[in-house]
Amino acid sequence: MTDDEIRDILLTTRRIAVVGASDRPERPSWGVARFLVDRGYAVTLVNPGIAGRALHGAPVAGRLEAAAPLDMVDVFRRSQEAGAVVDEAIRLGARSVWLQLGVRDDAAGERARAAGLRFVQDRCPVIEWRRLGLPAKIA
């Protein structure tokens, strides 16, 4: 993806589901979720082990479908598990899927693009936000 495409995703997205979110501060998903909430996104965290709680003021759902409607699905799962999340994001009508650093699934990316979704993999929205010098909050 180009910088303009990444910028557009980050600035036009409003509702994000973070799949594989953790309540442990040492986990990258904890920090990314905090960052997204602080930027003004409507975030729903997805983790069946902590469902029903709130983290960073955002609700935690047990399944992705409970986070719908959504714009972006941000995936903190192993690469071999990402395809199933991408397929569900397609089914739920997400506009984009973002696979975190180290997470790659080219076949899932092809399915997502064929369904009209924007697909980012092996990148972190926090790193991209800072690299692109985006504003403190979404408009």
* pLDDT per position as a tens digit, 68-121: 999 999 999 999 999 999 999 999 999 999 999 999 999 999 999 999 999 999
CB 102 within 8 A of CB 109: no
Domain ranges of the chain: 3-132
Encoding tokens for residue 15? 């509702």
CB 19 within 8 A of CB 77: yes
Give the rounded distance of the alpha carbon of 97 from its chain centre.
Answer: 6
Whether 63 has a pLDDT exceeding 90, the answer reads yes
Q: Quote the pTM value.
A: 0.96
* CATH of segment(s) 3-132: 3.40.50.720
pLDDT at 134: 97
pLDDT at 117: 98
Task: Report how many helices (DSSP H) and strands (DSSP E) the chain contains, helices first.
Answer: 5, 7
Quickly state the pLDDT bin for 40 (edges 50, 70, 90).
very high
